[in-house]
């Protein structure tokens, strides 16, 4: 009888104190954010293809996941964010963006809906960056921005006689390769070894390996094909892991 009472008491204490314990754990925080972010990524993907019904469903799931996240972490922040002023703003800010996303979706403004959802990703990125917290999604975002800089050279009329242009292509390609390597290193083992992740990262690296040849031969068509391939890999990385 005494053993049973002790066990019940232990469970009550665990339930009452469980939220605070989890809130102090950065790994739990990151996992809860990822649970919501997964729905956000899928919703953005459906908006790109114009699938309003499925996008709406994923936004509903995102809202539910964000509600659970807010319940656990709004009142007790992980130590990593102890002095980060963006932490308190995150909850009201994201909630407002979700309301706006709903409004934009109901009025058929898909681009504006997607902007609101992308802004949530930006809020989380800014929060973590300000506290030096590194996750795969943020590395993918950095890679996306580097890819955008590389895509500036997607021009069949590129002036290969300009040494600055040749150096620029090489430098941006090297920078993107470095970001891929960094993301590969940040990814946790189950993700890093997953066939889908390997296909995207290794495929992008294989495409990058062709850029020196395009520069050496001044082959604008080859560079164009490589950049289109890279952009596709980059978009898929963002859709799946960003």
Do 35 and 90 belong to one domain? yes
pLDDT value at position 25? Answer: 84
**Residue 42 — pLDDT band, cuts 50, 70, 90?**
very high
Q: How far apart are CA 43 and CA 65, in angstroms?
A: 13
Distance of CA 67 to the CA centre of its chain: 20
217 domain-assigned: yes
Between the two ends of the chain, the Cα-to-Cα distance in Å is 52
Q: Are 61 and 119 in contact (CB under 8 A)?
A: no
92 vs 5, more confident:
92
Q: Mark whether 50 and 141 lie in a shared domain.
A: no
Question: For 193-201, what is the mean pLDDT?
Answer: 96
Residues 165 and 203 in one domain: yes
* pLDDT for residue 5: 35
Alpha carbon distance 140, 114 (integer Å): 18
Please give the mean pLDDT across all residues of the chain: 88
| pTM for this model (two decimals) | 0.80
147 in a structural domain: yes
Q: Which residues of 34-58 are buried (b: 16+ CB within 10 A; e: fewer)?
A: bbbbbbbbbbbbbbeeeeeeebbeb
> What distance in Å separates the CA atoms of residue 105 and residue 96, rounded to the nearest whole number?
14
CATH number for the domain including 179? 1.20.120
> Is residue 98 located within the same domain as residue 122?
yes
Q: 107 with 186, same domain?
A: no
Contact 139, 186 (CB under 8 A): yes
Where does a domain end: 82, 103, 130?
A: 130
The verdict on 163 and 200 lying in the same domain is yes
Residue 172 belongs to domain spanning:
136-241
Which pLDDT tens digit goes with each residue over 88-137?
999 999 999 999 999 999 999 999 999 999 999 999 999 999 999 999 99
Of 80, 109, 130, which residue sits at a domain end? 130
Query: Do residues 180 and 104 share a domain?
Result: no
Q: What is the mean pLDDT of residues 37-46?
A: 93
Residue 79 sits in the same domain as residue 141 = no
Shared domain check, 222 and 159: yes
Residue 242: the pLDDT is: 83
Structural domain count, the chain: 2
Residues 107 and 178 in one domain: no
Alpha carbon distance 9, 222 (integer Å): 69
48 CB-near residues (< 8 Å, 6+ apart): 114
pLDDT of residue 229: 96
The whole-angstrom separation of Cα 230 and Cα 80 is 35
- Nearest Cα to Cα of residue 231 among 172, 181, 186: 172
Task: Dump pLDDT digits (tens) for 145-170.
Answer: 999 999 999 998 999 999 999 999 99
**Higher-confidence residue: 7 or 151?**
151
Same domain, 101 and 164: no
Is the domain of 71 the same as that of 118? yes
Look at residues 130, 155, 179 and tell me which one is the last residue of a structural domain: 130
Residue 6 domain-assigned?
no
- Is residue 56 domain-resident? yes
Nearest to 211 by CA among 150, 164, 157: 150
Q: Is residue 141 part of a domain?
A: yes
Instruction: Report if residue 14 sits inside a domain.
Output: no
């Amino acid at each position: 009888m005494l053993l049973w009472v002790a066990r019940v008491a232990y469970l009550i204490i665990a339930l009452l104190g469980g939220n605070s314990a989890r809130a102090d754990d950065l790994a739990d925080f990151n996992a809860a954010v990822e649970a919501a972010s997964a729905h956000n990524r899928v919703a953005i993907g459906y908006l790109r293809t114009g699938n309003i019904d499925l996008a709406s469903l994923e936004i509903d799931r995102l809202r539910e996941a964000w509600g659970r996240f807010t319940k656990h972490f709004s009142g007790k922040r992980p130590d990593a964010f102890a002095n980060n002023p963006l932490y308190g703003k995150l909850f009201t800010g994201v909630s407002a963006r979700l309301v706006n996303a709903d409004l934009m979706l109901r009025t058929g403004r898909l681009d504006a809906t997607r902007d609101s959802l992308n802004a949530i990703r930006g809020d989380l990125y800014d929060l973590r960056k300000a506290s030096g917290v590194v996750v795969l999604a943020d590395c993918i975002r950095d890679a996306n921005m580097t890819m955008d800089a590389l895509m500036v050279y997607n021009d069949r009329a590129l002036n290969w006689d300009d040494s600055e242009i040749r150096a620029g292509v090489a430098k941006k390609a090297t920078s993107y390769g470095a970001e891929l390597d960094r993301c590969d290193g940040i990814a946790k083992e189950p993700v890093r070894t997953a066939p889908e992740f390997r296909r995207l990262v290794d495929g992008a690296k294989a495409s990058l390996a062709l850029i020196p040849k395009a520069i050496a031969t001044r082959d604008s068509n080859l560079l164009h094909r490589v950049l289109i391939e890279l952009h596709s890999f980059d978009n898929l990385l963002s859709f799946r892991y960003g």
